[in-house]
Amino acid sequence: MVQVRETVLADWQALRDIRLQALRDAPYAFGSTYADQVKFGEADWRQRITRGGTFLAYLPEVSVSEPAGMAGGYQEAPGTVELISMFIRPRARGRGVGEALIGAVIGWALARDATSVHLWVTETNSHALRLYQRCGFTVTAERQPLPSAPALGEIGMTRPLAPPGPGQGGPGQGGPGQGGPGQG
Ligand SMILES: CC(C)(COP(=O)(O)OP(=O)(O)OC[C@H]1O[C@@H](n2cnc3c(N)ncnc32)[C@H](O)[C@@H]1OP(=O)(O)O)[C@@H](O)C(=O)NCCC(=O)NCCS
């Protein structure tokens, strides 16, 4: 069963290790590069933890100590949370870790009264596109070059968040697959 928790400052080394693996293994998926972030020191990783919500996911049946995946959210424009840095270690894929991380970022966004979650995905990244569509994100008209490899294009995706109604309101409300108008 997937367990997700928000990082605290003491997690900076675990965050560094999985983030650097992500940038090394899947450079096509991220706007930043391994070459840039391998130079980060402790203060940079700690600052990354405080700038928004950063989540680590664990799959105890795979490893109790090493995170299976990560994702983050930060407040972009008022009302909009940007979902970033989604990565699942290869041996943990296909087990619902991505959905659980998206649920955590959505919960974090709802707690900040956000009305939508937005993200950028490389147009050729079919696994990620399918994951996001499964979780209620729809493709927008936005296109931009991937900052780390401008020959690749990125697509904007968005998912509206329904505010909790009367008698509702746990973090699961508005979670993945509970679509609203943007359900894909
Ligand atoms: C995109 C990503 C997060 C999806 O992970 P996930 O949600 O666990 O994967 P899914 O549940 O969609 O996987 C479904 C199947 O595809 C496989 N799969 C998923 N991603 C794969 C990949 N990049 N390469 C090969 N196979 C992959 C899974 O093993 C699974 O196979 P199974 O059904 O035979 O078990 C993950 O592939 C990943 O971390 N990719 C690299 C980083 C990335 O692209 N991040 C997105 C940035 S926008």
Compute the distance from residue 59 Cα to the ligand 1 centre, in Å: 15
pLDDT tens digits, residue range 103-127?
Answer: 999 999 999 999 999 999 999 999 9
Number of neighbouring beta carbons within 10 Å of residue 124: 13
Cβ(131) – ligand 1 distance below 6 Å = yes
pLDDT of 34: 98
Mean pLDDT, the chain, integer: 91
Cβ(29) – ligand 1 distance below 6 Å = yes
Q: How confident is the model at residue 76 (pLDDT cuts 50, 70, 90)?
A: confident
Closest CA to 70 of 12, 154, 120, 121: 12
How confident is the model over 72-80, as a mean pLDDT?
93
pLDDT of 167: 57
pLDDT of 134: 97
Q: How confident is the model at residue 162 (pLDDT cuts 50, 70, 90)?
A: confident
Give the side-chain half-sphere CA count within 13 A for 136. Answer: 21
Given a contact cutoff of 8 angstroms between Cβ atoms, the answer to whether 106 and 4 are in contact is no
Q: Which is it for strands 138-146 and 80-88: parallel, antiparallel or unpaired?
A: unpaired
pLDDT of 9: 97
Closest residue (by CA) to atom 2 of ligand 1?
128
CA–CA separation, 125 and 135 (whole Å) = 16
Given a contact cutoff of 8 angstroms between Cβ atoms, the answer to whether 27 and 61 are in contact is no
Considering only residues 115 and 76, tell me which one the structure prediction assigns the higher pLDDT. 115
Look up residue 103 and give its two tokens.
Answer: 């649920």
pLDDT tens digits, residue range 55-74?
Answer: 999 999 889 889 999 999 99
Compute the distance from residue 109 Cα to the ligand 1 centre, in Å: 24
